[in-house]
Amino acid sequence: MHTSSAETLVPGCPSTVHDEVVALASRVWGAGADDVVTSQPGALLVHGVPLDGGTSCWLTWTFTAAGAGLTRVRLSHDEAAVGDGAPEPDLDAVLGMLLTGLMPSQAASDRTREETS
């Protein structure tokens, strides 16, 4: 088993971020409700990702409030069958997609505030 991890801060409360991760996993990996190993909304989400017909990797997301309107997200990737010379998964890119997915709602809030000022 090979494990890698990354973390970042994103805007939003842990439950909002959890919901965005569910949507991201669906868009990127086609992970659905049947692929959820465990879920504690706003705290933990584990997906088994089916590759080549069987689950060989797991994504573990943990969410921790990190201040007003911020959540610390830690993403771990566990791979059961890593071949020699296999590239490391780009977890920073995945966290970047999460941040991008959360930003439009933040930008909309900022525009509304500017329009009413």
State pLDDT tens for residues 54-70.
777 889 999 999 988 99
Kindly state whether residue 18 falls inside one of the protein's structural domains: yes
80: Cβ contacts below 8 Å, ≥ 6 apart: 1, 56, 57
Kindly state whether residue 13 falls inside one of the protein's structural domains: yes
Confidence tier at 113 by pLDDT (50, 70, 90): very low
Residues 22, 24, 27, 28, CA torsion sign: negative
d(CA 43, CA 18): 8
State pLDDT tens for residues 71-84.
999 999 888 765 55
- Number of structural domains the chain divides into: 1
pTM value is 0.79
Kindly state whether residue 116 falls inside one of the protein's structural domains: no
Kindly state whether residue 115 falls inside one of the protein's structural domains: no
Contact 104, 19 (CB under 8 A): no
Question: Which range marks the domain in which residue 60 is found?
Answer: 2-108
Kindly state whether residue 113 falls inside one of the protein's structural domains: no
Kindly state whether residue 117 falls inside one of the protein's structural domains: no
State pLDDT tens for residues 5-54.
999 999 999 999 999 999 998 888 888 889 999 999 999 999 988 766 77
Task: Please report, for the domain that includes residue 104, its CATH number.
Answer: 3.30.530.20
d(CA 52, CA 55): 8
Kindly state whether residue 114 falls inside one of the protein's structural domains: no
